[in-house]
Amino acid sequence: MSFFQTFTQRLRLSNPWNYKVPLLLAFPYFFLLTGNVSTWTATCSFLAAVITTIGFAGLGYVTNDLSDFKKDALAGKQNSVAQIGRLKIYAILALFIILAIAPWFYLPVDGLSLTLIVVELILFVVYAFPPFRFKEKGILGIITDALYAHVVPGVLASWTFYLVGGKNYKYLLLFMVLLIIWQFFSGVRNIFYHQIKDFDNDVKSGVKTLVTKLGIERAEWWVWKRLIPLEIAGFIFFVNLLAVDIEFLKVGVALIWLYAAYLMLKKNQAVSEEKKYKRFTNLLLDDVYIQWIPFFILVAMIASPMNVRYIFVLHLLLFRNPVKLAINWIQNSRLVRYFSRLSEIKKGVVHFTLFVLIYCMLLICIRWAVHYLFTLEV
């Protein structure tokens, strides 16, 4: 397997790229919206944020798999570093460290930023490696995972772009408090999911997690009856704060939740092995976090005087978002099925054309809405 294949496939980088990076970038988007930033600074800072996020996410996955590869082998579980030579592992670690640290020569750094970066790196180590290995310390492992995977990255991204925006946001303290509460419970819920999924493998390999101590039934009760309600409450408070600067955000989230509830009812009627609480969080929480929150903030940025079309287009191209959902829906319609017999090149042309059309329509709608609201105020 080539180094590139190892880097992209075996290390499972599609997981953080699809399910963590989009929400993590939503916080910088918000501070670009509320700050006083030029187009050039906004674009360069966005690219730097993407690079450092890839670096830290890669470090997290590699260090975790490095610490687990012997026990994963006992359970017959796939491990990204199990069949990689030592030289390749060193090269991958060096690459991720460079990606994580290099962007900070451009991004603004102060004492709090450096502290958060050091804390993140320490959490990687104490979570995965002995003599600490908090991963097997019950509730301590749950808290540590929630901190390094959700809370610390969110606070670091927000604080950094607060500095990029010229410290121009007056509700920063409340923002940080609500962000920490929401992301902490979201992180705890996600690591519970991971440990529930890995329950059989962990029992086989002798890994002692909180879920192996509680049992699956008790762990699922905690997720459904305690963690999810607390996470929803934290998210609602956070959205209400953001809505001070993005007026349509509350309405947008409410509409998405209504549609998600409709899909939830449809799925409940169908035969499915997926747990009810997992369907609930996939539709009403995770999809909103990953796809809609960044999208709504980007739409608000386009409606602002700052020219951020480049960032908007890059986000649409790089990450899961509602525009891609619309394209997929169109592609799966009866009309487009007719084109399924086309060559790959022609399919690519159709896909690109749909993307451009939807993007142009979206820009026209946003510009019209801004012009209409401005006319009403006059």
Cα 67 to its chain centre, rounded Å, is 24
Among 284, 324, 348, 287, which residue's Cα sits nearest to residue 22?
287
Residue 364 burial by CB count (10 A; 0-12/13-18/19+): exposed, middle or buried? exposed
pLDDT at 37 over 80: yes
Contacts of 334 (CB under 8 A, 6+ apart): none
Please tell me the distance from the alpha carbon of residue 36 to that of residue 39, in angstroms, as a whole number. 10
**More confident position, 86 or 377:** 86
Please tell me the distance from the alpha carbon of residue 132 to that of residue 63, in angstroms, as a whole number. 14
Position 220 scores a pLDDT of: 93
Kindly state the average pLDDT of the residues 140-154.
Answer: 95
The tokens for 82 are: 């199990």
Position 36 scores a pLDDT of: 81
Among 179, 299, 159, which residue's Cα sits nearest to residue 237?
179
Contacts of 138 (CB under 8 A, 6+ apart): 208, 209, 210, 213
- For the chain, domains (ranges, CATH) are 3-320 (1.10.600), 329-378 (no CATH)
User: What are the backbone angles phi and psi of residue 320, rounded to the nearest 5°?
Assistant: -65, 135
User: What are the backbone angles phi and psi of residue 215, rounded to the nearest 5°?
Assistant: 90, 155
CB 147 within 8 A of CB 109: no
Contacts of 227 (CB under 8 A, 6+ apart): 185, 188, 189, 192
Grade residue 178 by pLDDT with cuts at 50, 70 and 90: very high
- Winning range, highest mean pLDDT, from 23-27, 91-95, 130-134, 299-303: 23-27
Contacts of 293 (CB under 8 A, 6+ apart): 23, 26, 253
Position 377 scores a pLDDT of: 47
Position 235 scores a pLDDT of: 98
Helix (H, G, I), strand (E, B) or coil at 348: helix
Grade residue 114 by pLDDT with cuts at 50, 70 and 90: very high
Kindly state the average pLDDT of the residues 324-335.
Answer: 69
Grade residue 330 by pLDDT with cuts at 50, 70 and 90: low
pLDDT tens digits, one per residue of 306-321: 677 788 888 888 888 8
As a whole-number percent, the residues of the chain with pLDDT over 70 amount to 81
Give strand ranges (E) for 223-288.
none
CB 320 within 8 A of CB 291: yes
In 129-209, which ranges are continuous DSSP H helix? 139-146, 152-164, 172-197, 199-205
Please tell me the distance from the alpha carbon of residue 25 to that of residue 8, in angstroms, as a whole number. 21
Helix (H, G, I), strand (E, B) or coil at 80: coil
Q: Using CA of residue 52, residue 55, residue 60, residue 63, what is the dihedral sign?
A: negative
Q: Which amino acid is at 147?
A: L
Grade residue 101 by pLDDT with cuts at 50, 70 and 90: very high
